[in-house]
Amino acid sequence: MALFRTVSFAESLPTVEGEGVMLRAPVMADFMEWATLRNLSRGFLTPWEPTWPADDLTRSAYRRRVRRYAEDIRMDQAYAFFLFRKSDDLLIGGLTIANVRRGVAQAGSLGYWMGAPYAGQGYMTAAVRAITRFSFSSLRLHRLEAACIPTNTPSVRLLEKVGFKREGLARQYLCIDGIWQDHLLFARLDTDGRS
C-alpha cells in the first residue's frame, strides 16, 4: 500500500530548484564556505538555534555532520540541504526535513537557517516553497510541520506567506540557545494547494 512505502535515494539527494535558488545535499567540499558563513552569522543565528558545540565549526565536526546526513537519508529519517543562490552558486543557508515519520503519519519537520548577509531578500521564501513541493512529491509526505519562537517575527511571516497554518503553541518545546523555549507550531498539508 502506497501509504506505508518509504523513499530511497540510492546515491544522493536530487537537486531541488526554486525561484533564484538551488538546494542540494551538503558535501565535504562545502566545508570552508559553510564554516565561514556560519561564523560570520553566529550572532544572528544563535538566538534561534540549539547551543553550538565548542567544535561546531571544525572540519572534523563537519565531517561527522555530513556522515550523519548520509545515514539519515539512508534510514529515511531526515533530508538536509544547503541553499545556494542560483546567480553565483553562493552558499547562503540550509534547510532540513527532519523527524520523518512514515506509516499512518507520513510527516516531517522543517527547519532552516539563513546566513546573516542574505536574510530578508526572499531567498528563504523561495527555498521553503521548493522544499515543500519536494516533500510532498518526492518524499511523498502528507504533512510538513515547522515550529518557531513566537518572537521570531520574520520566521512567523515566512511560514504564513508560504501557506503554513498556525496550529498552536508548544510550551518549552525546544532547548534553544541553552533555554527551553515555547514555540508556535505550524503545518502544511499536501492537500492545502499551492502557495
**Mean pLDDT (whole number) for 85-93:** 97
How many domains does the chain contain in total? 1
In a domain, 16, yes or no: yes
In a domain, 194, yes or no: no
CATH number, domain with residue 103: 3.40.630.30
Please answer whether residues 36 and 55 qualify as being in contact, where contact means their C-beta atoms are separated by less than 8 angstroms.
no
In a domain, 2, yes or no: no
Domain that holds residue 150: 12-189
Note the helical H segments in 56-141: 59-74, 123-137
Q: pLDDT (tens digit, 9 = 90+) per residue, 137-195?
A: 999 999 999 999 999 999 999 999 999 999 999 999 999 999 999 999 999 999 997 76
Please answer whether residues 108 and 96 qualify as being in contact, where contact means their C-beta atoms are separated by less than 8 angstroms.
no
In a domain, 65, yes or no: yes
In a domain, 71, yes or no: yes
Q: pLDDT (tens digit, 9 = 90+) per residue, 103-125?
A: 999 999 999 999 999 999 999 99
In a domain, 146, yes or no: yes
Question: What is residue 10's predicted lDDT score, i.e. its pLDDT?
Answer: 46
Q: For 136, how many CA atoms within 13 A lie in the half-sphere containing its CB? A: 17
In a domain, 101, yes or no: yes
